[in-house]
Amino acid sequence: MEKLAKSTLAELKTTVQSGQYMLFFTADWCPDCRFIKPAMPEIEAEFPNYTFLLVDRDENIDLAQELDIFGIPSFVAFADGEETGRFVNKDRKTKAEVEKFIKGLPVSAA
Q: Is 108 a domain residue?
A: no
Q: Is 109 a domain residue?
A: no
pLDDT tens track for 52-73: 999 999 999 999 999 999 899 9
Q: Is 36 a domain residue?
A: yes
Strand, coil or helix: what is 15? helix
Q: Is 110 a domain residue?
A: no
Structure confidence at residue 90 as a pLDDT band (50, 70, 90): confident
List residues with catalytic annotation.
30, 33
Domain of residue 77, residue span: 2-103
pLDDT tens track for 11-25: 999 999 999 999 999
State the pLDDT at residue 108: 59
The CATH number of whichever domain residue 74 belongs to comes to 3.40.30.10
DSSP calls for 38-76 = GGHHHHHHH-TTSEEEEEETTTTHHHHHHTT--SSSEEE
Q: What is the pTM of this model?
A: 0.93
